[in-house]
Structure 1
Amino acid sequence: MASVEVSNVRKSFGSFEVIHGVSIRVEDGEFVILVGPSGCGKSTLLRMVAGLESITSGELRIDGRIVNDVPPKERDIAMVFQNYALYPQMTVAKNMSFSLELAKRPKDEIADKVNKAADILGLKPLLERYPRQLSGGQRQRVAMGRAIVRDPAVFLFDEPLSNLDAKLRVQMRAEIKALQQRLASTTIYVTHDQIEAMTMADKIVVLHDGEVEQIGTPLDLYDSPANLFVAGFIGSPAMNFISGRLEGGERPTLVTASGLKIPLAAAPPVGAGSEIVMGVRPEHVTLGGPLAIPAHVMVVEPTGYETQVIARLAGQDIVCVFRERLNDRPGDSIALTLEGPLHFFDAQTGHALAAN
């Protein structure tokens, strides 16, 4: 396996720059996920690592070697695509062995590698089938097997689960993570689904408009988002944001545009009168309590083990997640406490402010 280092990489299509000086280091054996909304540049960045897109400027190193101008076949990488890209006229075994046959590897070695990969992925009974005879999840396993037999230094995944249904995506998430841990492979994985990123990655790179917003472990990003974008992107349901003016005194208070005063158990280290944005995750909103503020129920969504409520507070809708089963209906009044941990951001820059 090998490390991957992206140093101040830029990518332009004509005069339009889509990647703006991105720097990322992927350690040997690490599972790194590039996540962000559509159009943020994550797939373009992955394709540059693969050698499928040229680099306008900056350096890309694989295992310490600069590979900017090295063709894809000489980079010792294997890529799993969103659409599987299987040869329909070939059996599963043939799809998996084809790259090794092109490389003129010995037949015994090819058979051994295909059988080992098939064992790992549970494909042994399917080796003589054709792609049209497989389910979506089975086809994705074949695509992964085709990558495994090459024994590459780096595995690249480009939104491999996008074409699967919700239940199968959950199953395949666990299988890919288990496979990566078993192989101890250096892996770069692209997705727009932050749940995939949170559940699978050793390290997450959050991209937005061709720039890195934050790099860290899943829980680092969840507990300490660097700015409003990361705070709103990581977490499902998303973090609630309430804008207002900070007032000091015996207990700090956030005064919203509607005039509602929200008492705060903690406050950022900025002066009274500062315009800030407070963030609170849906699961950190509780019912009742001495600091409760009035709200109105707009929507109640029971899911079984928890109840999701959309409530109108300070003139805006916020999402709350309760473990209790509620009897409230739309239009009812409830009292909510923004229990925290609370997050604070500068209203102008969007940067996080540490709470005292």
Structure 2
Amino acid sequence: MAPVSVRSIRKAYGSHPVIHGVDLEIADGEFVVLVGPSGCGKSTLLRMIAGLEDITSGAIAIDGRVVNDAAPRDRDIAMVFQNYALYPHMNVAQNMGFSLKLKKADPAAITTRVNRAADILSLRPLLERYPRELSGGQRQRVAMGRAIVRDPKVFLFDEPLSNLDAKLRVGMRAEMKSLHQRLKTTTVYVTHDQIEAMTLADKIVVMHDGVVQQIGAPMELYDRPANTFVASFIGSPSMNLIEGVYTAGDGEAFIKADDGTGLPIAGRLNVPAGERVIYGIRPEDLVAGTNGLPAEVLVFEPTGAEAHVIARIATSNVVVVLRDRRAYQPGETIYVQPDLSRVHLFSKSSGKRIG
């Protein structure tokens, strides 16, 4: 186990910069998830930590040692890829122990460590099988087992669950969480799936266009997003965002949407009246009732335990999460009341959160 320090890291391909000065401290034993849309730079940053990409400027330290010029094999890391990268002519035990065999480790020690990893991952009955005889989830566990037997200081995962079906991903997330709780190995995990990020991470790093947008615990990012990008990226369904103007009168303050609809807030803001702002409210924080904001139903989506109603408030389409069993029809008007303690406000010009 070891801390990882990323200091002012920049990466450019020729004259095209893709990582713009990332600073990140990962504590010993911490599970950190890099999340963001495709092309945001998260996999590039992971590959620089692994030594698979050169660093344009800045420094990366693992366990206090700067590793900028160290080869991947000398960084004491283990990486698990999206495509498993198993050797088809080797059985599970041989795949898991191959890196130790290359290091000319004692065969008895290899067997012991392979068996230990197999027990952790419930792979003992599969040790004699070949990759072609395994399911996708079993192959992913073998790839994880190959990393575990090396007993590295840091695990690096590059979208390891993206090839699995939805049900299997849920099961593998639970297995990975349990695995980290047992091994306590420092882990850096890349995904574009914010649900994976929320469920797995001790700390999430949200990236966009090579820039870190916010770093924090999952619920910290969910409850207090730093800007509109984080607000819209973290959460499923994503936060509803409605543009308007901050309006403050005699003892009353609200956000006036572009069609004149008044959106309620809990108190006055520390911005000038007339300032353009973005009003944010999560779908589950809109409560349907007999009064409140009128919303025209556009689409009704039953999901089982709850229903998602896509409706129009003011000039914006919003999502409302409802837990009753009633079916709403397109064109119907419902009334929703926002929980004022959970309203989020952002500057229209900068996109940053207004305190």
> After the TM superposition, which residues 1-356 of structure 1 pair with which residues of structure 2 at under 5 Å, given as runs?
1-249=1-249, 250-288=251-289, 292-340=292-340, 341-354=342-355
Cα distance between partner residues in 2 of 1:105 and 1:263:
67
Cα distance between partner residues in 2 of 1:84 and 1:266:
53
Query: Helix, strand or coil: the match of 2:178?
Result: helix
Moved more, 246-255 or 200-209: 246-255
Letter of the aligned partner of 1:336 in structure 2? Answer: V
Query: 1:261: how far off?
Result: 2.0
CA contact (8 A) 1:266 1:342 kept: no
Cα distance between partner residues in 2 of 1:214 and 1:75:
27
Tell me the alpha carbon deviations over residues 217-270 of structure 1, each in whole angstroms, 9 at most, x when there is no partner: 000000000001001100000000011011112221211111222232344321
CA contact (8 A) 1:81 1:157 kept: yes
Cα distance between partner residues in 1 of 2:268 and 2:222:
19
Letter of the aligned partner of 1:225 in structure 2? Answer: P
Change in CA separation of 1:59 and 1:27 when aligned onto 2, cut-off 3 Å: same
Tell me the alpha carbon deviations over residues 279-321 of structure 1, each in whole angstroms, 9 at most, x when there is no partner: 000000011265x021111111111211110011112210000
Moved more, 242-251 or 220-229: 242-251
Query: Helix, strand or coil: the match of 2:138?
Result: helix
Change in CA separation of 1:331 and 1:124 when aligned onto 2, cut-off 3 Å: same
Cα distance between partner residues in 1 of 2:268 and 2:343:
8
Query: Helix, strand or coil: the match of 2:299?
Result: strand
Query: Helix, strand or coil: the match of 1:137?
Result: helix
Q: Structure 2: 5+ residue runs without aligned partners?
A: none
Cα distance between partner residues in 2 of 1:267 and 1:174:
43
Query: 1:189: how far off?
Result: 0.2
CA RMSD of aligned residues (A): 1.0
CA contact (8 A) 1:251 1:263 kept: no
Letter of the aligned partner of 2:354 in structure 1? Answer: L
Letter of the aligned partner of 1:314 in structure 2? Answer: A
Identity of aligned residues (%): 61
Change in CA separation of 1:201 and 1:170 when aligned onto 2, cut-off 3 Å: same
Cα distance between partner residues in 2 of 1:15 and 1:176:
39
Moved more, 299-308 or 168-177: 299-308
CA contact (8 A) 1:83 1:160 kept: yes
Cα distance between partner residues in 2 of 1:268 and 1:133:
62
Cα distance between partner residues in 2 of 1:215 and 1:266:
28
Query: Helix, strand or coil: the match of 2:105?
Result: coil
Query: Helix, strand or coil: the match of 1:43?
Result: helix
CA contact (8 A) 1:277 1:345 kept: yes
CA contact (8 A) 1:295 1:334 kept: yes
Query: Helix, strand or coil: the match of 1:353?
Result: coil
Letter of the aligned partner of 1:347 in structure 2? Answer: K
Query: Helix, strand or coil: the match of 2:334?
Result: strand
Moved more, 8-17 or 259-268: 259-268
Letter of the aligned partner of 1:273 in structure 2? Answer: G
CA contact (8 A) 1:2 1:153 kept: yes
Query: 1:330: how far off?
Result: 0.8
CA contact (8 A) 2:8 2:22 kept: yes
Letter of the aligned partner of 2:279 in structure 1? Answer: M
Q: Report the number of matched residues.
A: 353
Q: TM-score, length-normalised on structure 1?
A: 0.98
